[in-house]
Amino acid sequence: VVIDSGRFWLGRFGENPGGPTADEVVLTVKAIVPVPWIELHCHGGVEVVRWILETLAARHVHICSWQEFERGTSDDLLQAEAAIALAQATTVRTASILLDQYHGAFSRAVALVVAALNLGEVREAARLLEELLLYVPLGRHLTTPWRVAVMGPPNVGKSSLVNALTGYQRSIVTPTPGTTRDVVTTLIAIDSWPVELIDTAGLREGADALEQQGIDRARAAAQVADLCLWLLDASGPPIKPSPALPRVHLVVNKIDLPGAWDLNEAADAAHVSARTGEGIAELCQLLSHWLVPDPPCPGAAVPFSFALAACIEKAYKCCCRDRAEQALEILRGICQRKPALAEGSVP
């Protein structure tokens, strides 16, 4: 048999006397050099795949994840990382930004910085890095959703708001204050940004031990949230958030009911009715703006992972301290291929 790239065979895998049942497979030879690269296409099903992998492993084939394979075989490490991130994107908007990076938006931006540093133009390099830094917070959320905690006193309509934003009855709603005890999370998309919405127990003093546990969980959720919505009840006394609560935006709920206070006092807040849906679309627009105040234009370079963001931040600090060589080293490191599957090893 001539083993040549671009050829394929249909055959049976594992067919030997007394062996296990064979599977009909297609074998393709993708390349001979620098490493032999074949593809084996089998029938689907967890067990068939497991059996084929075990059989290959028993014959000293190194089994790896597809991400490891991408990193180890791609000539362009940043493109491989973008492909891996792209597979984790959960909305069209984040996928489209990652696709731009896959097509080289971020690598081109890094190449420009490297070119500036090579010419000794450290200030220009810092300016270019500043442009990239703008999108560091966004880049951190392309594969991890933003966390938005819905907070407030009992009975203001937190769970009702979560349900209105989610589009179904995710949380239990009752007229009894103290209904929600645990932290209830839901993944949704707001303006095509991925958001984990966190419903929490109402905060109040003098709660019993059980309710207090829910309150402690609510406070812990607020600390790790990217943003907290604090609900005020239009039909009851307005209870302000504690100053200790981080990144808070106010939302006045129950605007379908007669107001019990002057709602102009909360002119900056979003005004909604979780019951009728009034103001919910506007709240989504505001949320989108609070999460991503300055969305990138199509094709813009975005540091699309925590690791890349950290490198850009470090390189920027080096430029600010006039340490061009150190900045260059960091930026070159971003593009260097990791020797996960070095030439000579057979994946």
Ligand X SMILES: Nc1nc2c(ncn2[C@@H]2O[C@H](COP(=O)(O)OP(=O)(O)OP(=O)(O)O)[C@@H](O)[C@H]2O)c(=O)[nH]1
Residue 145 contact among ligand X, Mg ion, none, beta carbon within 5 to 8 Å by kind: none
Please, what is the minimum distance in Å from the beta carbon of residue 159 to Mg ion?
A: 3
Residue 253 contact among ligand X, Mg ion, none, beta carbon within 5 to 8 Å by kind: ligand X
How many residues are listed for the chain in this entry? 347
Residue in 198, 188, 184 with CA at minimum distance from that of residue 91: 188
Q: Contact positions toward Mg ion, by CB under 5 A?
A: 158-159, 179-180
Cβ-based nearer residue to ligand X, 274 or 286:
274
Q: Contact positions toward ligand X, by CB under 6 A?
A: 154-160, 173-175, 177-180, 201-202, 253-254, 256-257, 273-275
Residue 160 contact among ligand X, Mg ion, none, beta carbon within 5 to 8 Å by kind: ligand X
Task: Quickly list DSSP for 48-113.
Answer: HHHHHHHHHHHTTPPP--HHHHHHHH-S-HHHHHHHHHHTT--SHHHHHHHHHHHTTHHHHHHHHH
Residue 155 contact among ligand X, Mg ion, none, beta carbon within 5 to 8 Å by kind: ligand X
Please, what is the minimum distance in Å from the beta carbon of residue 160 to ligand X?
A: 3
Cβ-based nearer residue to ligand X, 109 or 156:
156
Cβ-based nearer residue to ligand X, 154 or 303:
154
Cβ-based nearer residue to ligand X, 165 or 308:
165
Please, what is the minimum distance in Å from the beta carbon of residue 149 to ligand X?
A: 13
Residues 6+ apart with CB under 8 A from 330: 311, 314, 315, 318
Please, what is the minimum distance in Å from the beta carbon of residue 176 to ligand X?
A: 7
Residues 6+ apart with CB under 8 A from 346: 35, 36, 61, 62
Please, what is the minimum distance in Å from the beta carbon of residue 201 to ligand X?
A: 6
Task: Quickly list DSSP for 281-342.
Answer: HHHHHHHHHHH-SSPPPTT-----SHHHHHHHHHHHHHHHTT-HHHHHHHHHHHHSPPGGG-
